[in-house]
């Protein structure tokens, strides 16, 4: 009966245990998880494009091999996350359809363009850095398949972040022109990376309930603060300047103060009017359509195997 299921669900949360796919869960909990996990999966899949843009132009064979491996990791993350969402009862075709018809959200950050090689450094350092800050607490998310997927994803993101830092470090130790390229790229990526954590707490409709359900463990602003605190000393080592004159150590708070972000830009990007929204979704749609024959062949093969094993 539903009463028993609800009681057990509340007990699982209270004891910091995991909710598993076969457990009873409130419909709204299931819906929130499908929303967050599918958006996260779509972000990984769309997130391959800005870096995919540089695979053929990476400045050495070593850089090319590393970048290919990183982009492939992102595909893998997307696939685990689609699988985790499927355990909640949505099928993959439906999620793909939401993405390629532009109905699904994915992270705002992937709607920015990558005109320079230094952007590969900024994505690793800032975008993967923000992803780690946001996702390490998600390893403890109450929904088992999501939390477990996050453990492996975070290990790989941590490698990604270091490779981005190292790209910027190499540029900062290079010529005047290379240093300028690194700084210009950090100038463009810094604020959008801070926006990855979502709107300010006061404008975040989902946070409170998601925290009560042990899905989110910290609020958007708490994680954003943690990220800035992490970046400032790393920027000093790199020798880059974070493009925010308001950054200042606050002795009383024990944190760095930082300036307001342009939330109009954020809502424009969410509304589909960012620099690269249209191209991201249309590329994804074309890739999906071009892959139709692969899905068809895989299905035919699976059917044949099933018939053979039934015989
Ligand atoms: N972009 O009430 P909240 C990666 C939406 S990392 C777009 O605060 P919530 C790694 C939000 O969905 C990036 N939309 O929402 C990588 C909601 O709209 P809805 C992916 C955003 O869910 C690196 C509305 O605003 N990571 O891919 C954004 O409690 C390099 C109200 O917001 C994740 O997805 C945004 N930045 O908190 C890959 C992490 N922020 O759905 C390739 C998992 C908010 O009601 C290359 N997700 N919105 O219509 C989360 O932790 C949460 O979902 C938040 C948002 C923190 C993103």
- Residue 35 CB–ligand 1 contact under 6 Å: yes
Confidence of residue 1 (pLDDT cuts 50, 70, 90): low
Find the mean pLDDT for residues 268-295.
97
Neighbours of 310 (CB within 10 A): 6
Task: Name the closest-CA residue to atom 26, ligand 1.
Answer: 40
Q: Specify the pLDDT at position 310.
A: 85
Q: Which residues pair with residue 143 across a beta bridge?
A: 19
> 120 C-alpha vs ligand 1 centroid, how far in Å?
21
CA 210 – CA 280 distance, rounded (Å):
29
In the reported structure, the alpha carbon of residue 220 is separated from the centroid of ligand 1 by a whole-number distance in angstroms of: 10
Two tokens, residue 43: 């972000």
Identify the burial level of 304 via C-beta atoms within 10 angstroms of its C-beta, where 0-12 means exposed, 13-18 middle and 19 or more buried. exposed
Does residue 214 line the site of ligand 1, with CB under 6 A?
A: no
> Cα of 4 to ligand 1 centre, how many Å?
33
pLDDT at position 144 is: 98
Residues 6+ apart with CB under 8 A from 82: 38, 41, 92, 95
pLDDT tens column, 265-274: 999 999 999 9
Q: What's the rounded Cα separation, in Å, for the pair 111 and 196?
A: 11
Helix locations, 87-199, DSSP H: 92-100, 118-122, 129-135, 144-172, 176-195
118, 181 in Cβ contact below 8 A? yes
Structure tokens at 255: 């944190």
pLDDT tens digit string along 96-134?
999 999 999 999 999 999 999 999 999 999 999 999 999
The percentage of residues in the chain with a pLDDT greater than 70, rounded to a whole number, is 100
Residue 256, strand partner residues = 249
Ligand 1 atom 36, closest CA: 196
**Residue nearest (by alpha carbon) to ligand 1 atom 9:** 206
Buried b / exposed e along 50-68 (16+ C-beta atoms within 10 A):
bbebbbeebeeeebeebbe
For residue 32, pLDDT beyond 80: yes
- pLDDT in the model for residue 110: 98
Taking only the tens place, the pLDDT of each residue in 252-265 is 999 999 999 999 99
Q: Is the CB of 78 under 6 A from ligand 1?
A: no
Distance CA 92, CA 98 (A): 10
Q: Can you give the pLDDT at residue 3?
A: 84
Please tell me the pTM assigned to this model. 0.96
Mean pLDDT of 18-26: 97
Would you state the pLDDT for residue 252? 98
Residue whose C-alpha is closest to residue 213's, from 18, 63, 2: 18
Residue-averaged pLDDT of the chain: 97
Chain segment 182-191, per-residue pLDDT in tens: 999 999 999 9
Other Cβ atoms closer than 10 A to 27: 7
Question: Do residues 78 and 40 lie in contact, with contact meaning Cβ atoms separated by under 8 Å?
Answer: no
């Amino acid at each position: 009966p539903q009463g028993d299921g609800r009681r057990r669900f509340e007990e699982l949360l209270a004891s910091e245990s995991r909710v598993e796919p076969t457990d009873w869960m409130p419909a709204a909990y299931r819906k929130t998880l499908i929303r967050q996990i599918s958006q996260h999966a779509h972000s990984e899949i769309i997130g391959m494009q800005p870096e995919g843009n540089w695979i053929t132009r990476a400045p050495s064979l070593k850089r090319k091999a590393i970048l290919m491996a990183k982009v492939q990791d992102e595909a893998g993350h997307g696939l685990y996350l689609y699988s985790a969402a499927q355990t909640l009862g949505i099928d993959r075709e439906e999620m793909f359809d939401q993405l390629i018809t532009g109905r699904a959200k994915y992270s705002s950050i992937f709607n920015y363009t990558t005109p320079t090689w230094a952007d590969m450094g900024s994505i690793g350092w800032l975008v993967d850095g923000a992803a780690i800050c946001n996702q390490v607490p998600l390893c403890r998310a109450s929904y088992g398949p999501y939390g477990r997927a996050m453990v492996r994803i975070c290990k790989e993101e941590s490698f990604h972040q270091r490779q981005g830092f190292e790209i910027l470090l190499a540029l900062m130790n290079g010529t005047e022109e290379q240093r300028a390229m690194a700084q210009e790229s950090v100038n463009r990526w810094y604020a959008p990376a801070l926006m990855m954590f979502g709107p300010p707490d006061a404008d975040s409709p989902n946070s409170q309930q998601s925290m009560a359900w042990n899905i989110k463990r910290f609020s958007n602003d708490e994680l954003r603060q943690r990220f800035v605190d992490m970046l400032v000393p790393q920027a000093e080592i790199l020798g880059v300047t974070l493009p925010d004159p308001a950054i200042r150590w606050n002795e009383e708070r024990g944190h760095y103060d930082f300036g307001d972000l342009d939330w109009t830009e954020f809502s424009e990007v969410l509304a589909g009017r960012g620099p690269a929204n249209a191209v991201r979704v249309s590329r994804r749609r074309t890739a999906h359509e071009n892959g139709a024959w692969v899905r068809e062949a895989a299905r035919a093969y699976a059917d044949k195997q099933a018939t053979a094993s039934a015989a």
